[in-house]
Each structure stands twice: as C-alpha cells, then as structure tokens.
Amino acid sequence: MSTDDVWIDNALRADRDGYLADDGFTARVMAALPAPAAALPAWRTPAVIAMWLVAAVGLAFAAPGAMLDVAREAYRLLAAVPVSLSGIATAAAALIALTAGAAAYTLRQSDD
C-alpha cells in the first residue's frame, strides 16, 4: 500500500460506524452520472410472454417423444450390462462418496 493511501485506511479503521467526510465528492459523482434509461417499450412484455408460451407448447409436444427415445436408449444400454451384487455395491459406494463430497463442499466454512 502506498503512503498516499494510508490516511484513508486509518480513517476507515478509526471510525467504522461514523460518517467519513468527503467534502461533497459523493454528491458530485452522483450528480455527474447519466440519467437512468427510459422505461421498456410497452410491447416487450407481451412479446416475451408470447415467446415463452410458444417455447412451452413446443416443449410439451417434443418432450414425450424425446423422453421415450431416452428411455429406450437407456434400457438398451443397461440391458447389455450384467448386474452383480459387487457392481451394485460399487455404484452405491460411489454415490455415497459423491454425495458426501458435495455436502462437504457446500457446507465448508468460507474464509471471506
């Protein structure tokens, strides 16, 4: 940290709950910002709703056939693999390890 920045660091540490005088700098910056963009056009919301409805209808028509194809392919792949007790135990152990790892990653303490 340069010596020019030490004064502000000291000021911020000295009084964390109080007001740090900036001689109107913040007000000047806020006044210099451009005005917010104009409101969205009135036609945009109905157009977005119409596009989502078209997508939902398309998905509703395509999903049953796609799900049937996925189920057939999954059955074809799984029917070719012999099932054994050791294979099931290995798969269960892998799922337990993945679940525990994901839980540990999610629940870890953050250093931030």
Residue 27 in any domain: the answer is: no
Query: Per-residue confidence at 57, pLDDT binned at 50, 70, 90?
Result: very high
User: In this structure, what token pair is assigned to residue 45?
Assistant: 């919301």
pTM for this prediction: 0.35
Averaged pLDDT for residues 79-99: 92
DSSP assignment letter at 3 = G
DSSP assignment letter at 17 = S
Mean pLDDT, all residues of the chain:
85
Residue 34 in any domain: the answer is: no
Range of the domain at 52: 44-107
Give the model confidence (pLDDT) of 4-52 as tens digits: 778 777 777 776 666 767 888 988 999 999 988 777 788 998 999 999 9
- The count of structural domains within the chain is 1
Query: Per-residue confidence at 112, pLDDT binned at 50, 70, 90?
Result: very low
Residue 39 in any domain: the answer is: no
User: By percentage, how much of the chain surpasses pLDDT 70?
Assistant: 88
Residue 2 in any domain: the answer is: no
Q: Given this model, what pLDDT does residue 1 score? A: 58
DSSP assignment letter at 111 = -
Residue 53 in any domain: the answer is: yes
The C-alpha atoms of residue 73 and residue 79 are separated, in whole angstroms, by 10
The three-class DSSP label of residue 43 is coil
Residue 11 in any domain: the answer is: no
The C-alpha atoms of residue 80 and residue 68 are separated, in whole angstroms, by 19
Residue 102 in any domain: the answer is: yes
Residue 22 in any domain: the answer is: no
